[in-house]
Structure 1
């Protein structure tokens, strides 16, 4: 079998080489988009009542329809268009969040850096082409303050700040079936009330035309508009932007509950969690048991006000 020089280069080193090519490209650019850090991102949400639409590596891949096929949301032209519209949206009440990776990766641990070496080396130029250098972006990783970072010493301080977003608020959680955001821990215990609309765990965007009106109808029934927290992959990115246009505060909250659970367990790997869907652990995290604790299950089911199958 014919071999070339790439066959003799270790896998991780191939990623580093690709990243070096990306860095050379970045150095040749006059400007790189500004991405504000964790505290500035979270404090702005708290102080200004902003909505949040988040774009991570997955959303960028879905825009270009090159997301891995074994993922929980399949590539589609419709979703790519919707995500493209969202990242270009100009709304004074909407914060657009992207990864703080374009200038450097010093804050991340080895596993995360190796991933970003490859991702930026392969896709970085395309991703940057979507961003406006005259615009200020915020940190999409504010919902992932634990697992990927080298310094975890102040992580509970970060979670305490995050909890202020919904302090004494009525919250509506829009989530995948079996996501169970905040169930079994104290993450949302400081909210005034909690209700939930459950959506498909996989390929939720295919039901977007049902999800959006279901959420809007429920919010409009309330005397006081709730804060909408959405944990629904790329569908959350689009939904938060669309709700913001309707003057409904919505936050694409992503994996925050999973990260909080991992931090409480002091996990060093993306382990499965009891009673919760963990999409980043396909071996064990996709098989979710029912909630066996009667009181916990009663509380959770009482919060469900809508279900889209």
Structure 2
């Protein structure tokens, strides 16, 4: 079944023209809605999600399309994290955590798609038609979820005029807080832009850009070693599904950890005024095939110096160690 659905999705994307795919997505979404009637999960929107983080200091585990695919092990093998039974099990355990210190986020897509642009509506319509019922089977319709798209407040939305207001609200999460950023080798979250300018001291642990989950234990221990020496540190993790699991597991130590995802890339697209996903100079963008993988060195001397001073540890991937 996993291979069949993956093949079907690849065929749809490669062969069928967009207009036909969009029409098909509308039909599939309506059919999906009929099949899940009365089972729709409750998802708070962007503003309520961000304000809850600010006001309550909670950790955040985010489940987007990728995380659900990894749970069911039908994520494309040509992605930045390999499918594995252990990854699937750990993600499912994280999704089921019931702790007031942890916010569980899923996409706000179950009660309409009008807020999204046509490309996003086409994507979610087809995606839910193929996978949506399996998602519903592992979600709790009585649980309050929050919006995983809070880290993607710009590109997929029809209304981009309120993007500035959204980013200003997001910046309040780390205002005057010391931050530990845990990210892929070339992610460079907040480098050469002003996203983190209102934060306190910034340090970084660099992990593998691909298959970071294979080094999970080492990353986990490195975070604990750091926060045990500091007070009130906010941990921001940009490591795909590894970030989702870290946030859920670190709450037992009282560490506020936010799976921050692609927020910095979204912010750069906003600054660029871009309406399509594109490469960002000096940063790894896994959603832009080929060009997004080719990462140049940081060109601004001050940004480069500050970034290098912030790095306290590098955790190499298995391939890099050979």
What TM-score, normalized by structure 2, do the two folds share? 0.90
Matched, 1:142 2:150: yes
Quote how far apart the aligned CAs of 1:114 are. Answer: 1.1
Partner in structure 2 of residue 267 of structure 1: 274
Quote how far apart the aligned CAs of 1:25 are. Answer: 4.2
* Counterpart secondary structure, 2:228: helix
Matched, 1:242 2:249: yes
Q: Distance in 1 between matches of 2:258 and 2:299?
A: 30
1:225 to 226, 232, 240: 232
Q: Distance in 1 between matches of 2:216 and 2:23?
A: 38
Q: Distance in 1 between matches of 2:195 and 2:32?
A: 41
Kindly report the root-mean-square deviation, in angstroms, between the aligned alpha carbons of the 2 structures: 1.6
- Runs ≥4 residues deviating over 6 A: none
Change (3 A) 1:300 1:33: same
* Counterpart secondary structure, 2:172: helix
* Counterpart secondary structure, 2:258: strand
Partner in structure 2 of residue 283 of structure 1: 290
Q: Distance in 1 between matches of 2:273 and 2:164?
A: 11
2:31 to 14, 24, 34: 24
Partner in structure 1 of residue 102 of structure 2: 94
Q: 5+ unaligned residues in a row in structure 2: which ranges? A: 1-11, 317-322
Contact kept? 1:111, 1:148, Cα under 8 Å: yes
Q: Distance in 2 between matches of 1:142 and 1:114?
A: 20
Q: Distance in 2 between matches of 1:12 and 1:119?
A: 16
Quote how far apart the aligned CAs of 1:143 are. Answer: 0.3
What TM-score, normalized by structure 1, do the two folds share? 0.94
Partner in structure 1 of residue 320 of structure 2: none
Matched, 1:297 2:311: no
Q: Distance in 2 between matches of 1:225 and 1:138?
A: 24
Contact kept? 1:18, 1:117, Cα under 8 Å: yes
Q: Distance in 2 between matches of 1:199 and 1:164?
A: 26
Aligned residues between the structures = 302
Matched ranges for 1:104-253 at <5 A: 104-222=112-230, 224-253=231-260
Q: 5+ unaligned residues in a row in structure 1: which ranges? A: 1-5
Quote how far apart the aligned CAs of 1:131 are. Answer: 0.7
Contact kept? 1:52, 1:251, Cα under 8 Å: yes
